[in-house]
Structure formats: structure tokens, C-alpha cells
């Protein structure tokens, strides 16, 4: 049982669709992250929120739009994605952004067709 829960676990969407990924953490943490994991590549940081404020946008295309309504919830809104966006999207949280260990959710396996 993980303290970070992601839904859905699997998602198949067309290039013209709009969908959202949801992440919820029950650890009392103040920082939340979105990472992208593609085959043969390191985990890529996408967005960081610290105390609900976005502190980092790692040159992510605008077709990915994050939302953090409170410290426990994080969303990733998706629209007009490309097939190369197919990957495992991982949410993580930590006590605060920076030098503290992060805990990951189970991820959403996204396939863009």
C-alpha cells in the first residue's frame, strides 16, 4: 500500500483527446512532482510544486498542463498529445522540495494512438 496513489493506472488516448492524470498523497508532504519515464532514458522531471506553488517547469511542452489545488493533490492535464508522449508518468511527493527523499506512486502507463 503506497502513500501516493495515481489514477488511472493505464490510459489509451487518441491524439485529439483531452484527459487528466490524478495523483493524491496521504503522507502530509508539501512537495509533489511529475516525472516521465520512457524506455532507455532516465526519469525526466516535468514539474515541481512546493507548498502548492510551481517551482519548476522543466521545458515541458504546453500540451501538458499541471494543476495543484492543494498540497495533497496533483493533476496533469493532457491534450493533443503525440505518439512519442507514450510513457510511464510517475507522481512523487516529499516533505519539501529539494534534499529530501521522494516517494513515488504506481504510475500511469499512457499510450497515445
Partner 1 sequence: QKEVEQNSGPLSVPEGAIASLNCTYSDRGSQSFFWYRQYSGKSPELIMFIYSNGDKEDGRFTAQLNKASQYVSLLIRDSQPSDSATYLCAVTLNSGYALNFGKGTSLLVTP
Sites of contact with partner 1 (CB under 8 A):
2, 31, 33, 40-43, 45, 48, 50, 55-56, 90, 97-107
Q: For partner 1, give the closer residue by CB, 41 or 84.
A: 41
Residue 98 is given by DSSP the state S
Beta carbons of 93 and 27 less than 8 angstroms apart: yes
* Closest approach of partner 1 to the CB of residue 61, in Å: 19
Widest distance between CA atoms in the chain: 39
* Closest approach of partner 1 to the CB of residue 44, in Å: 8
- Classify residue 109 by burial, with Cβ atoms within 10 Å: 0-12, 13-18, 19+: middle
Q: For partner 1, give the closer residue by CB, 19 or 109.
A: 109
* Closest approach of partner 1 to the CB of residue 65, in Å: 19
* Closest approach of partner 1 to the CB of residue 24, in Å: 15
Alpha-carbon span 66 to 21, nearest angstrom: 9
Peptide bond before residue 8 is cis, with ω within 30 degrees of 0: yes
Q: For partner 1, give the closer residue by CB, 23 or 78.
A: 23
Amino acid at each position: 500500500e503506497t502513500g501516493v496513489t495515481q489514477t488511472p493506472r493505464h490510459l489509451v488516448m487518441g491524439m485529439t483527446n483531452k484527459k487528466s492524470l490524478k495523483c493524491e498523497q496521504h503522507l502530509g508532504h508539501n512537495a509533489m512532482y511529475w516525472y516521465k519515464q520512457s524506455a532507455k532514458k532516465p526519469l525526466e522531471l516535468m514539474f515541481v510544486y512546493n507548498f502548492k506553488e510551481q517551482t519548476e517547469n522543466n521545458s515541458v511542452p504546453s500540451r501538458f498542463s499541471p494543476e495543484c489545488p492543494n498540497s495533497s493533490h496533483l493533476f496533469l492535464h493532457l491534450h493533443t498529445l503525440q505518439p512519442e508522449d507514450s510513457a510511464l508518468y510517475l507522481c512523487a511527493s516529499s516533505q519539501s522540495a529539494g534534499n529530501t527523499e521522494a516517494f513515488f506512486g504506481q504510475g500511469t502507463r499512457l499510450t497515445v494512438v
